[in-house]
Amino acid sequence: MIYIATTTINRPTKALKLFAKNKNCKLIVSLDKKSKNFELKNSIVLSTKYQEKKWPRLSKLIGWNCIQRRNFAILEAYERGAETIALIDDDNIPYNNWFKNIFLNKQIKCNEIKTNKKIFDPVGYTNHSNLWHRGLPLELVNNRKYKKEKKQLIKPDIQANFWNGDPDIDAVCRMIFKPECNFKKNLFPFFSKKISPFNSQNTLITRKVIKDYFLFPHIGRMDDIWASFYVTSKKYRVLYNEPTVYQQRNVHNLIKDFKDEYIGYVNSLKLVESLYKDSENIYNFLPKKSSSAFDEWKKLTE
């Protein structure tokens, strides 16, 4: 059984209805203060009162009306004994292959991809090499180079599946290119040994990662990106795999997205350089409330 964790302020979307119908998984939705009249069969819905009562300190530290409420869906799955937890957004429409080719805790042969940059950008390696993954420092965008090594046998802890349609890129990239992507399947799967970004949509993680994987509040759209930098600095292995959803992206204000990403434009490269020295240097870049929330998370997942 795969538990799927998400949050939403919308009524049940096409994507959520499709995930809820699938018998191979159990969807958990943590609601927010803006959520209204949310009812969805075959799913576990965490009300705002439930979250406040069960995890009062963490709930207060994270706050409301933010995508980091997804943490509570992850935590609910963890406490129910989930061995595999998938993270999705409510606009990720699953293809039929979403429920196939899940490689977590299995041995798989795939190519290691080396890069000339301090951070491995998985999007730049694809047939859409002009684009870059959300969270890649802008200083590293130019002159990205990749070298494909021979296939190696690995056992991934995290599986970051891609997304056709409107991909997960930053506001700058989206303003310039406004892409509609169709990623070539024959490039996947692949991995890198460097620190690298993956997001909290269409990604599967193993149980052992949960204690270190936390969507940091109060840092805008870097919540999942800095989480990915942190766990990859701790040597958890990420497998990047073919697209298994179509991203029919919800309406966004790109200027707002840019403002919410600004903390990353300014700090992400310095953060990664610091993480290579010591993973726990993450605390030097987090606001106090975010650090306290992370400490509380660790207590709850011991």
- Whether pLDDT at 144 is above 90: yes
Reference 286, options 197, 225, 205; nearest CA is 225
Instruction: Quote the CA–CA distance of 234 and 193 in Å, as a whole number.
Output: 11
Q: 33-46, pLDDT tens digit by residue?
A: 998 889 999 999 99
Q: What's the whole-number mean pLDDT along residues 131-148? A: 98
Percent of the chain with pLDDT over 90: 94
Give me the mean pLDDT over the 25-54 stretch: 95
Find the helix packing angle between 288-300 and 70-79, rounded to 10°: 20
Q: How many CB atoms lie within 10 A of CB 201?
A: 22
pLDDT per position as a tens digit, 183-210? 999 999 999 999 999 999 999 999 999 9
CA dihedral (8, 240, 145, 264) in degrees, to 10, reads 30
Q: What helix, strand, coil percent values describe the chain, rounded to 5?
A: 40, 20, 40
pTM exceeds 0.85 = yes
Query: What's residue 185's pLDDT?
Result: 96
Torsion region of 212: left, alpha or beta (phi above 0 gives left; psi -120 to 50 gives alpha): alpha
| Beta pairing, strands 92-94 & 238-247 | antiparallel
